[in-house]
């Protein structure tokens, strides 16, 4: 009996999250509401509020649970090529429809809602940053980078221009732009001769 109940609850949770993403893609994050999700998913809004305290929390959980981006780093022995491939995959996923506009809206929600900001950091931003720093550390240990370069700073230098372009000046992220950022960073990170 307990297995059936937990399977039913898991199915309901997944249906709510799928409905959230479908509605978000149809009407946009700003117009998305718990009430609309509940109506379409065929559940009471209290069912949703028991699991998620806000629209932002529901949306974040839905986005990361059902569309978990496969953004793991390759390790080919060429850190520049590996960063380029990983960042190209990230912008292809997070800067273009259907997820791009929703991801940007989620970041906007995070600016206004500390709970959403903390969850976004814990479940997406921090793990991605840690993977980037780990890949840079491996490259440094292999002699591909200067041994005294600050890897956390490198992470900031890599991500800052991308978020600036996508969120502040709202220009598209292109592979060419990413390549220029990486080239500029590595001009200053290489081992000193």
Q: Compute the distance between CA of residue 24 and CA of residue 32 in angstroms, rounded to an integer.
A: 6
Global pTM?
0.78
Superfamily of domain 79-189: Tetracycline Repressor, domain 2 (1.10.357.10)
**What Cα–Cα distance (Å) separates residue 56 from each residue in 15, 44, 117?**
17, 18, 9
Q: Where are the domains of the chain?
A: 2-54, 79-189
Question: What confidence score (pLDDT) does residue 193 get?
Answer: 60
Answer whether CATH 3.40.50.1980 is correct for domain 2-54: no
Whether the CB-CB separation of 173 and 91 falls below 8 Å is answered with: yes
pLDDT in tens, the chain (193 residues): 578 888 888 889 999 999 999 999 899 888 999 999 999 999 999 999 999 988 888 998 888 876 655 667 888 999 999 999 999 988 887 777 777 888 888 888 888 889 889 988 988 889 889 999 999 999 999 998 888 888 999 999 999 999 899 888 989 899 999 999 999 888 866 566 6
């Amino acid at each position: 009996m307990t297995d059936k109940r937990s399977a039913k609850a898991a199915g309901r949770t997944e249906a709510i999250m799928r409905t959230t993403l479908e509605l978000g893609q149809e009407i946009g994050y700003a117009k998305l509401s718990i009430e609309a999700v509940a109506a379409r998913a065929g559940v009471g809004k209290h069912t949703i509020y028991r699991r998620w305290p806000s629209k932002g929390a529901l949306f974040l959980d839905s986005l990361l649970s059902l569309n978990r981006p496969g953004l793991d780093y390759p390790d080919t022995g060429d850190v520049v090529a590996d960063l380029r491939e990983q960042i190209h995959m990230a912008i292809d996923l997070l800067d273009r429809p259907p997820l791009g506009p929703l991801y940007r809206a989620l970041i906007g929600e995070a600016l206004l809602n500390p709970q959403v900001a903390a969850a976004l950091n814990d479940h997406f931003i921090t793990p991605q940053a840690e993977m980037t720093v780990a890949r840079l550390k491996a490259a440094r240990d292999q002699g591909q980078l200067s041994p005294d370069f600050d890897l956390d700073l490198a992470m900031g230098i890599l991500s800052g221009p991308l978020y600036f372009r996508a969120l502040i000046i709202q220009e598209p992220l292109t592979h060419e732009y990413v390549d220029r950022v990486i080239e500029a960073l590595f001009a200053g990170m290489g081992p000193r001769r």
